[in-house]
Chain A
Amino acid sequence: MGQEQEFRKKFNRELKTGLLGMVLLDVMNRSPEPLYGYRIIKEIEKLSDGGFVLPEGTVYPILNSLESRGLLKSEWGKGSEGPRRKYYSMTRTGKKLLSEMLSDWRNVSRTIEKMVGKEEVVK
């Protein structure tokens, strides 16, 4: 892989990593019931039409991290068979922060879109 492709890969990874927390909170916010890890991954895939395929094992640590910051809460519940499942749901703080993050994201994406869409030449 050439250096430019490596740079692109890094850019994509950082972009997704930076946005993942917001995407996770958004998915949780849309769900009327608590969700467990694998369901969250599947929901993200579905909502993004397969555009946001998360690497295995990436979601759980971030869920833990969001929980430790008080944005999500969790409880252990029994799965249909076998091991217990950890079900996550939004907290009030999480909802408030999500609306702020979405507003920040919209501002940034609007600005970037406006900027890169212009045809002016930089002098």
Chain B
Amino acid sequence: MRNTPFLNEFLKEVEKELMGVDKKAIMEEISGHIRDKAEDMASERGLKSPDDCIYREIIASMGDPGEVVKPYLKEMPVKLPFSIKAFLAFQLLTGLAALLVFIEGMDTLFWALDQTPNDTGFILTQVTSTLFFLLISILLIGLVMRQWRKPVRIPLLGSLSVLVSISVVISIIFVMFRVIVWNQWGVEYGENTYYPIAGAVTVGLLVLYVLGLQQMGSFQRRIDLSEEDILSSRGSRKRTSIFIYLVSSVFVVLLILVAMGQSVYSDDYYESHELVQTQDIGGPFDARLELWDHHDENGWYETRKIVYYVEGEEIEGFFFPEMQRSFEWMRDGTENGSTVMAWWDYGLSIRGYTGREVVLDAPVRSMEHSVGDPSSFDEWEVDEDKFQKVAMAFVTTDINYTSEVMDLYDAEYILTNYRDAAGISYALVQAAYEPDPLSSYWPTLDEESFLYRIWNGEDIEGFELVYSDLEVRILKKL
């Protein structure tokens, strides 16, 4: 007995509707049932074999192919298709990311409770955002586990988990923007370099979510529609898809506009830099100090520069006003031609202001992460070994080593600002031991180190304290 074309077409439709179950066995059962019934009906009507009319009658009584497979998909264990598995895994990752943000948030919260216990506004914000991420993480991981164990739940909980996931992703991206713009983790990225990347990531994630939502809709159609839905499903499916596409498109366009707006906003502010005062210093390099007024995303603030000329070439560097007195002492109280060993930050100022030579006047590439504005650097120190040796000379506990490095570079004086031992001490320790910008290790200064001992007011054998004020100390090697 051969199938009629009409029966074959119907069976093809039925097969299409079966998803994630043992299709072959079910198709055999369904076609077997139809043919058994057809044979039965044919013999009742005195026919030799079933005709097309009988098949049409049987199929009409069975209903829509979706209706035929629905009981199977409800009763049988449904295997998740790869696309749904991938989407659930993606959601699980989002939940884990939220968990990481929660852990990071707890860390910040404990820090704030310890360091700024009276800043109730910040603490309250931190508590709220931390709890938000914890709640969302539990919710998302719980939803995914529930859906994974009982796939029938996917359509029921799918929309909720998609909404939760989207809110997590947007929140995380928002945090990312905050970190990039406000430089909260002490890591300076290039200006606006990360906006397109963050934008692309956002759009990519949203596209993935839209695709995931579609997969869920397709899954839902097959396993969880009521009879009424099946009868009227075709038109509403199309309407739902169009609605999802429209909402997602509007959402993506808005995000792009926001990102572009952010970029324009930043560019506008970078325009506002004004030189407001200058002061001539003179000296062998004809130096002058400049006071600049800035208005940008960081607010309204001023900076100081030292500008001077070496063999006709203009040199400019950041000037620390609190060091001016110590520079004047150095210019007047040290011999011409002497060399000073100091951290690179002060190198350009020392040379320009005092006319003395310095061991370091620029950072190395491997320590770029410790530099406030890496984009402003045209020239980098190429001798990594020298840079590491100078850093080590400051942080070592072996005073002889410090002397050896000073001898190596013909330095008679060593200058230090208090920030070397405090705010930027990590940079000196990292440069000496571990120049790894991705390291979460935040090294601190050893209490036996040369630098610590200077600021602890200790006498150091082989050195004489020749200058001291609130923020700067200069020692001469004996």
A binding-site residues for B, Cβ under 8 Å: 36-39, 42, 56-58, 60-62, 64-65, 68, 79, 81-86
Contact = CB atoms under 8 A, between A and B. Distances in A.
Given A58-B71, A61-B71, A38 B76 contact: no
B35 A65 contact: no
Contacts, number: 66
Closest 8 A/B residue pairs (Cβ): A38-B36, A61-B75, A61-B71, A56-B62, A65-B75, A61-B72, A83-B32, A57-B68
Nearest to B49: A81
What secondary structure prevails in chain B residues at the interface with A?
helix
Given A37-B29, A81-B1, A83-B31, 15 more contacts: A37-B32, A37-B33, A38-B37, A57-B30, A57-B67, A57-B68, A60-B26, A60-B29, A60-B30, A61-B76, A83-B32, A83-B35, A84-B32, A86-B25, A86-B32
B60 to A, nearest CB: 10
B29 A86 contact: yes
B118 interface: no
A32 to B, nearest CB: 20
Interface string B402-428: 000000000000000000000000000
B28 interface: yes
B77 interface: yes
Interface string B45-70: 00000000000001001110001100
A82 B30 contact: no
Contact of A85 (B32, B37, B58, B63): B32
Interface range on chain B (Cβ under 8 Å from partner): 20 to 34
B385 to A, nearest CB: 72
A51 to B, nearest CB: 18
B229 to A, nearest CB: 16
A105 to B, nearest CB: 21
Contacts of B71: 57-58, 60-62
Given A57-B62, A64-B76, A68-B77, A38 B32 contact: yes
B75 A36 contact: no
Nearest to A56: B62
B28 A64 contact: no
Interface string B8-49: 000000000000000001101111110111001000000000
A110 B58 CA distance: 38
Contacts of A79: 32, 35-36
B237 interface: no
A13 to B, nearest CB: 10
A82 B28 contact: no
Nearest to B35: A82
Given A56-B62, A56-B68, A83-B35, A61 B74 contact: yes
Contacts of A65: 75-76
Q: Tell which of B63, B68, B72 has the most Cβ of chain A within 10 Å.
A: B72
A68 B67 CA distance: 22
B75 A84 contact: no
Contacts of B31: 83
A56 B33 contact: yes
A57 B37 CA distance: 12
Contacts of A62: 71, 75
Contacts of A60: 26, 29-30, 33, 71-72
A61 B25 CA distance: 11
